[in-house]
Every structure is written in C-alpha cells, then in structure tokens.
Structure 1
Amino acid sequence: MLVAVVGSCPLSVKPVVKYLLELGLKVALITEIEKDLPLTENLEVINPKRGFNAILGTFKVLKPEIVINLTGFLCEEDQNEYLQKLEEYTQKLVEIAKETSINRFVHFSSCRVGDYFGDDFYNLHFRLEKLITQSGLKYTVFKPSLVITNHSFLMEEIRQLAKTSPVVVVPKVRTQPIHMDNILLAIEKAVKDDVLENKVCELGGPQIMSLKRVMEELFVAAGVERNVIEVPRYLFPLTLPVLKKLSIMTFDQIERVKIHSFCFENCTPSITALVKDPFEF
C-alpha cells in the first residue's frame, strides 16, 4: 500500500513517516523538509513548491490509496502563514484526492472545533472539516487535544527556559494531553481498518488536567524545577508573546490551549487498548 503524507512540520511529519515505514508501507511525502528524512526506496519525496499540478501528476503516476493531511499540525509558523497554508493545501488536496480516486482522506483538525467560534484558527478548522465531510470522499477526521511529543528539541527548550526564566505564566484552562505514540496508533487504525471510515474522532490522553500541571510535568520530564503561575483565561493574550518567544509550544499547540481543550467524547480508548501517559518519554 502507498500512503501520501502531506506536511512540512517536523514534529508531526517525521514521526508519522517513520512509523508508516516501520509498518512496511510505502510513503509519498509532499513536504518542504529537506533534512534528516529516512533514506529508503520506500520513501518518495516531492517538494510542494513545484506546484499543485506537479502533485496531481505525481498522484496519477504513483496512485496512493490514502492521503494523510498533516498540513499545519504541530506547526511553528506565524498565524497568517499558518492559516493561509492550511486552507490552500487542504482545499487543493481535496480536489486532487477526488480527481485521483483516493480511498481515504485522513485529516487533522483540533479538539473543540465546532463548539467554539469567533477565532480564525477554530473557524477555519470548522470550514475545512465541513469541506472534507461533505466532499464525497471517504474520510477520517482526527481532532486531538494538546499533543505532547517526545522530541529532544522540546526537552532542550524546556531546559533553556529554566535557565532564563524563574516563572512561567499560563492561562487557566483545562486540556487532555495526548502522547504522540497514540496519534501514531490512531493513524495506523485509519490506514489499516475501515472501522474509522467516515468518522470524526476526538483524541485525548488518559486525564483532563490544567495547563499549569502540563507545564509542571514537562519540567519534571526535563529534569528541572520552575514555578508555573495561572492567570485568568481572558488574560491569555498577554501571555502569548512570552510563550512564543520562549518556543515552549509551536503556534499550533498554543492555539489548541487558548480555550478548554478536553474531549467531550474521547475516541482514543476505542482505537488502542493502551492510552499512554503523555509524559512518558
């Protein structure tokens, strides 16, 4: 089976591609990432800068059965670039998938999309969910809460933060952090099993907790100690510049915790028997 993966955010793309290859699948990767990709005959890399006609031509030749759209997922770009790329790529990918008879379109949205409006991030994700579910394609839409990766970059950023700032300020919100390994298991289920066909699934970890506790757990995982202070949610915009500057979270991750981001109906336990501790590195 050939799976097409679309995205240029290393925190999501690299572990997904690595996992699919370990499953013995062939991967066509549409990405701007140029470094540290696996060297294997089972991986074909296409730069999206060649244009969507080139991607369409590649799909017609390679005939992937499944598209996994990771555009924007865990991305570091600023708001305008993020929203523009996410909308453009998803719309074009849906057109390409319809023209090339893709068997399944797997898309990543965000927890609580459809419940919260008045924000460009959530409004756009809502429109794209509708675009996909009403496209006529067979689809799976995943809506994860805050995703915790075990990437060494994250731990290094936390350690650097501990050296430069005695206190971290976060909004008073609740979230349901999920380990990246459970995201990978969900993708495997969508690729291999029809049980998730035409399903919209919220994905969360084993516990609902405050963002304050999330940050405290990350400090523990990194082997450092720092004070974490909560502020009312309406003061969140005042904390944004600090969080972005310190690179604790990417733009996409920050957007996911602007509001309470726990699942109303967590699909993770039905997808995998093991809902992993998100802070198990």
Structure 2
Amino acid sequence: MTEILQTPKLVVVFGGSGFVGRHVVRALARRGYRIRVACRRPDLAGHLQPLGNVGQIQPVQANVRVRWSVDRAVQDADHVVNLVAILHESGRQKFTSVHEFGARAVAEAARAVGAGLTHISALGADLNAQSDYARTKALGEKAVLETISDAVILRPSINFGPEDSFFNRFANMARYSPVLPLIGGGQTKFQPVYVGDVAEAVARSVDGKVQGGRIYELGGPQVLTFKQCMQEMLAMIDRKRLLVSVPWWVANMQASILGLLPNPLLTKDQVLQLREHNIVSEAATRENRTLAGLDIQPHSIGSILPSYLWRYRAAGQFQRKTAA
C-alpha cells in the first residue's frame, strides 16, 4: 500500500527578515513547516536561507501598507504571523499605517484564505496611552480581534538576543562614552524577554497549542529598572561607566533634536513610553497568559547576554575574568 505523504503547512511570516523574525523563522523551520517570508526587501533576506532546508524558506515582496501585496503573499497559507512594527516614524512608515492599517490588512487577508493568525503586539499597548506607538499597537490588536476572533496576540516586553537594538546599542555606546544616560533617573521597570522564547511562543501558536482569542504578555524571569539593565550590561562587558540621571524635561529637549535624524537615537514618543513600566500585568499572571502559561521556561539575561556582548569587552573573547 502506497503511503501518502502530507504536505507540511505553509506559514506566511510578515516581517520575517527582522530581528524577531529570523528567530521565528528558525523555530518554524525546525518544526518542518514551509515558510513564506513576506518583507519589503526580499533581496536582503538571504540570511534566512541557512535556517532551513533547501527550498523550505521563500522570501516574497510585500508591504503591509499595500493591500494587494498582502493578499498575494497569503495565498494558500495555513497560518499567518504578523511581526511588522516600527519604533519611530519615517517617510511613509507611520505608526497608524503600519500598526493599525497594516494589522487589519493582514488579518483580513488571513481570514479571506481561512488561515489562522498570530499577531505580535507589545507590552504596554493601551488605547488610552499618550505614546503614539503604544496607542496604535492597541488599535492594531483591536483590529485583529474584530477581524479574527480566535487570533493569538502576543505582547512581549523588550526583546534581547544577539541582534537586539537595546543591550547592543548601549554596550556599543559604552565603548566610546565615559557616561551613559538614565532617562528620568532610570527607574522605569522592564521585564526583558529572550527573543528565542518569544519565537517559541509563536511556533507553539502555529502548532495549535495556544488558545486563541486571548492576549498573552511575555516577559522574562527578572524585573529590572532601566538603571539595573545598564548595570547588568556593564558587568557583562567588564567596563565601568558613570550612569548620569537625565530629567524628563531635558530628555524631551534632546529628543526634539535627535528625533530629526534619519535613524534617531531618541524620539519624543519614546520618552513618553519610558514614563510607563513595561512589565507583565498581575491579571496576565493570574490568568496564565504568560510564558509560564504556555509551558515555556524563560531564559534570564545572565544566561544569554554573555553569548553576544563579549565583543564589547576591551579584549573581546580573550578578556580575562575578573575576580568577584
């Protein structure tokens, strides 16, 4: 009797060529899924090919602001993952067009082909937030659930990992600057989450192991203030730097100037975000809408940071360990 081989599910990942995307693609590839990576520049997505077998990963051109390209990208999909987000506005890339219009476009396209949907939002998303980033993230969640009621929504805290733009940015700054700024005194609380854990949560939702129609808040095992994050980072790279408190009004002035740069170090909207703690809520913990609720043991920053921050040490990987 001839055995009929079942074709693996096709998963379309919007924003799959980015920081979180490459880890999501790796987690899906390990499970044997066929993966179509929808991104604005597929010619720059070659780094994804080694993550899977020959022909398993296919980059295609799509822009969540252009509806017909979204519809084309999701054709024949079994599941859709939307990772697209921006940290600051530039050109046509606006918070509303990407976080709200884009989220609805992806959701409607997924519904049209009968595909499941996993949407990545952000911890701190709030319809009443002063920050445009946080408010439009919440509007995107609303659009998704209005379109597909059983969609899975994941809200991660600050993601850390080899290619992150948080610890890497400040570690690089510490190589040249004798001081590091602590906006608002550095008392804002964060719950940094390893990007690999977020990717695993996404992959489990594609597996069908995550209950839909719920919003999950993903944070790591430690709650740290911004100042403590900087102290942990400096300890990892074995450098001593002066941590200087920057009052909110000074930060706003700096953001007004820095925000004009093509790739700004700080924007006024980011200053607004820093006024709010970025940690998993008590309600999410109580209702098991966390990594623990998904049976994922989160990695601590102490177990991951040394694997990639060593390059910021004075002697790199040959730096001698200092006695505690």
- Answer whether TM exceeds 0.5 for this pair: yes
- Assess if the C-alpha contact under 8 Å between 2:174 and 2:180 holds in 1: no
Q: Which residue of 1 aligns with 2:55?
A: 41
Question: 1:195 matched to which residue of 2?
Answer: 210
Give 1:119-158 correspondences, 5 Å limit.
119-151=131-163, 157-158=169-170
Alpha-carbon distance in structure 2 between the residues aligned to 1:184 and 1:93: 19
Match of 1:170 in 2: 182
After superposition, residues 87-236 of structure 1 pair within 5 angstroms as 87-102=100-115, 104-114=116-126, 116-151=128-163, 157-171=169-183, 172-232=187-247, 236=251
Q: Tell me by how many angstroms 1:29 deviates.
A: 0.6
- Secondary structure of the structure 1 residue equivalent to 2:138: helix
Q: Please name the residue that 1:78 is paired with.
A: 89
Distance change in 2, residues 1:9/1:25 (3 Å): closer
Contact 2:14–2:38 (CA<8 Å) still a contact in 1?
Answer: yes
Partners of 1:69 and 1:122 lie apart in 2 by: 17
Partner amino acid, structure 1, of 2:192: P
The code of the aligned residue for 2:220 comes to G
- Say if 1:4 and 1:29, in contact at 8 Å, map to a contact too: yes
Q: Check 1:25–1:250 CA distance in 2 against 1; reply closer, same or farther (3 A cut).
A: farther
3-state DSSP of counterpart to 1:134: helix
Q: Residue 263 of structure 1 aligns to a residue in which SS?
A: coil
1:228 offset after TM fit, Å?
2.4
1:28 & 1:205 partners in 2: Cα distance?
A: 29
Say which structure, 1 or 2, has more relative contact order (CA 8 Å, 6+ apart). Answer: 1
Change (3 A) 1:143 1:250: farther
Change in Cα spacing, 1:188 to 1:152, as seen in structure 2 (3 Å) is closer
Matches of 2:157 and 2:165, distance apart in 1? 20
Matched, 1:14 2:22: yes
CA RMSD of aligned residues (A): 3.2
- 1:67, CA displacement in angstroms? 0.9
1:212 aligned counterpart, secondary structure? helix
TM-superposed CA distance for 1:174, in Å, is 0.9
CA distance in 1, matches of 2:106, 2:59: 16
Instruction: State how far apart, in whole Å, the 1-side matches of 2:60 and 2:81 are.
Output: 15
Deviations 1:111-148 (A, max 9, x none): 12237522211211111111111213420111111111
Distance in 2 of aligned mates of 1:178 and 1:244: 30
Cα distance, 1:42 vs. partner? Answer: 0.8
3-state SS, counterpart of residue 49 of structure 2: coil
Structure 2 equivalent of residue 271 of structure 1: 294
Structure 2: 5+ residue runs without aligned partners? 1-8, 305-324
CA distance in 2, matches of 1:111, 1:49: 24
- Per the TM alignment, residue 183 of structure 1 is displaced from its structure 2 partner at its CA by 0.6
Contact between 1:7 and 1:31, CA under 8 Å: does it hold in 2? Answer: yes
Q: Deviations over 1:159-215 (max 9, x none)?
A: 431232111112331111111121112112211134321110111111211011112
TM-score by length of 1: 0.83
Q: Shift of the alpha carbon at 1:258? A: 4.3
**For this pair of structures, how many residues does the alignment match?**
275
Label 1:54 to 1:161 Cα distance change in 2 as closer, same or farther (>3 A): closer
Does structure 2 conserve the Cα–Cα contact (< 8 Å) formed by 1:94 and 1:132? yes
Instruction: Compute the TM-score of the two structures, normalised by the length of structure 2.
Output: 0.73
Any gaps of 5 or more consecutive residues in structure 1? none
What SS is found at the alignment partner of 1:71? coil
Contact 1:158 1:248 in 2 (8 A): no
State the distance in 1 between where 2:28 and 2:271 align: 27
C-alpha contact (below 8 Å) 2:251/2:271 kept by paired residues: no
In 2, distance between residues paired with 1:153 and 1:195?
28
**1:154, distance to aligned residue in structure 2 (A):** 6.5
Q: State the identity as a percent.
A: 17
Amino acid at match of 1:274: Q
